[in-house]
Structure 1
Amino acid sequence: MDKQKIIEQIRAHKNQPCLDFRLKTTTEAFTNTLFYTLFDTNTPLLENLEKLEQQFEILVDLACWDADKPCSKVWDRYVQKLPAILEKLNKDAQATLNCDPASLSIEEVYMAYPGFYAIAIYRLSHELYAEGFPLVPRLMTEYAHRQTGVDINPGAQIGNSFHIDHGTGVVIGETAVIKNNVKIYQGVTLGGLYVAKDLQKIKRHPTIESNVTIYANATILGGDTIVGENSIIGGNAWITESVPANSTVFHTPTIKIKPTKNHV
């Protein structure tokens, strides 16, 4: 076996000079530090803020391939937003406690609810996405996706008091807009009506107005699709056009039960 030849062939096919997987592992460490800084009682705030700044400097070196992009200035703006992000997340946690009869305490929501964790990482990543910071926001939400089964693109716009129950299989696309006091259940998709690369700058995902509940496995597609406020979308519904305010939409399945003969 000619190992040197194999090495040369592998190097020849490595055509992504910036593909340094330290960016992924450093982003995950940064995400964990952020979460603990906001929520863990025993985490020293000053020490962790300094640690976060050091981790972010590494992310700048790894992620900002454009030398003219002032990535190093992002941190000062971002860290000032953390109190407001925490305020929003406390409202999300309270919404979950209020909505879910299975939740026994607010501490349980913070520590055990995958939907809340996914929302937390989304909100922390969204502000970096809004800054145009490359790749890191997506790596943050993919890290949460891997742990929770909830896939929220950091570009989505989500209002206050958002609740995801159970969470597994939820997909929220990049240009989705979700207003205040919205509840969604497992398996819900807020997606595009169809996929084409030239739609990258176009709103492809639906708008969900305030006080809407979307039950399990409902699919709502299209950038022009608006679900009006105070509406209820039933489980397994498939929606590709707008729904007026104060509506109830439900899917009626056909269930047939065929009795079997008893055999001796």
Structure 2
Amino acid sequence: METRAIIDRIKKNKIQPNLRFRLKRETEAFTDLLFLSLFDIETPIEDNMPRLQEKFDQLVDLACWDPDRSCASIWEEYLQTLPGVLEKLNLDARAIAECDPASLSIEEVYLAYPGFYAIAIYRLAHELYKKRFPLVPRLMTEYAHRQTGVDINPGAQIGKSFFIDHATGVVIGQTAVIHDHVKIYQGVTLGALYVAKNLSDTKRHPTIEDNVTIYANATILGGDTVIGANSIIGGNAWLTSSVPPNSKVYHNPEIEIRTQQNDQ
């Protein structure tokens, strides 16, 4: 087949008119600058505000595809949410520093904890998600997912003083609801019991009430599943039904240990 014919066939199958991968790169650049502007003492917010608005305007040009809907006012609305987001993130950082005996300082949490970074990008993306700004919130949390191993859908609702320890492998679905002072460990999944497309407008992911701790590799599924306040979910537990408050749930595998003497 001649080169011209190959090119024509490729062009014929490039069928998504809004698929510009530059949107992904620009979203990541905006996310980096926003994160530094909120936390880094050498990145003054007053100097960066015009740059942030300029980058956001670029995202509007790339992502606001509906001709009947203007996204121009979203920046001003989003800007109003940032002080509150920062207050929540400072509470998250404090919760991590106070709960983790391995933490040597609050600065270490901001700089070195992947769980904190994932929570930060989620909270920043969630406010845009509530504005129904197309695709950008999802690209923000996917950027954090790629860097941390934590996959939080921007639609999830997460309360104050949230702690993800070790981070890697955590999955939190779109309709999950997490209340205040919740701690989860690596490998935890808050997922859907069914993944049929016709369930897209229903609550598919669990609710976690106040002061719950969920240990490593636990899986909790279903929109009707509620983990009651002050409960502890042990590692490797698999739950598809609700747990009352003040419960302890453990997975008990059968483990047999033999010494060489016993094997003789």
What's the TM-score, normalizing by structure 2?
0.97
Aligned to 2:154: 154
Q: For the residues of structure 1 that align with 2:127 and 2:102, how far apart are their CA atoms? A: 31
State the 4+ residue runs in structure 1 displaced beyond 3 angstroms. 257-261
Aligned to 2:52: 52
Residue by residue over 1:33-62, the C-alpha shift from the partner in whole angstroms, topping out at 9 and shown as x without a partner, is: 110010000112122111110011010010
User: What's the secondary structure of 1:72's corresponding residue?
Assistant: coil
Matched, 1:2 2:2: yes
Aligned to 2:134: 134
Q: For the residues of structure 2 that align with 1:2 and 1:136, how far apart are their CA atoms? A: 39
Residue by residue over 1:155-182, the C-alpha shift from the partner in whole angstroms, topping out at 9 and shown as x without a partner, is: 0000000000000000000000000000
Between the two proteins, the alignment pairs up a number of residues equal to 262
Q: For the residues of structure 1 that align with 2:83 and 2:37, how far apart are their CA atoms? A: 11
Q: For the residues of structure 2 that align with 1:259 and 1:111, how far apart are their CA atoms? A: 45
Aligned to 2:231: 231
Residue by residue over 1:210-240, the C-alpha shift from the partner in whole angstroms, topping out at 9 and shown as x without a partner, is: 0000000000000000000000000000001
Aligned to 1:31: 31
Q: For the residues of structure 1 that align with 2:189 and 2:122, how far apart are their CA atoms? A: 16
Gap regions ≥5 residues in structure 1: none
Q: Which amino acid aligns with 1:197?
A: K
Q: For the residues of structure 2 that align with 1:58 and 1:195, how far apart are their CA atoms? A: 34
Matched, 1:90 2:90: yes
Aligned to 1:197: 197
Residue by residue over 1:177-226, the C-alpha shift from the partner in whole angstroms, topping out at 9 and shown as x without a partner, is: 00000000000000001110000000000000000000000000000000
Q: Which amino acid aligns with 1:236?
A: N
Aligned to 2:256: 256
Q: Which amino acid aligns with 1:205?
A: H
Q: CA deviation at 1:259?
A: 4.9
Q: Which amino acid aligns with 1:229?
A: A
Q: Identity across aligned pairs (percent)?
A: 69
Q: For the residues of structure 1 that align with 2:57 and 2:117, how far apart are their CA atoms? A: 25
Q: Which amino acid aligns with 1:84?
A: G
Aligned to 2:118: 118
Q: For the residues of structure 1 that align with 2:60 and 2:162, how far apart are their CA atoms? A: 31
Aligned to 2:144: 144
Matched, 1:185 2:185: yes
Gap regions ≥5 residues in structure 2: none
Q: CA deviation at 1:4?
A: 2.0
Q: For the residues of structure 2 that align with 1:167 and 1:38, how far apart are their CA atoms? A: 22
Q: Which amino acid aligns with 1:103?
A: S
Q: CA deviation at 1:3?
A: 2.3
What's the TM-score, normalizing by structure 1?
0.97
Q: CA deviation at 1:258?
A: 4.6
Q: CA deviation at 1:260?
A: 5.6
Q: CA deviation at 1:140?
A: 0.2
Q: CA deviation at 1:142?
A: 0.2
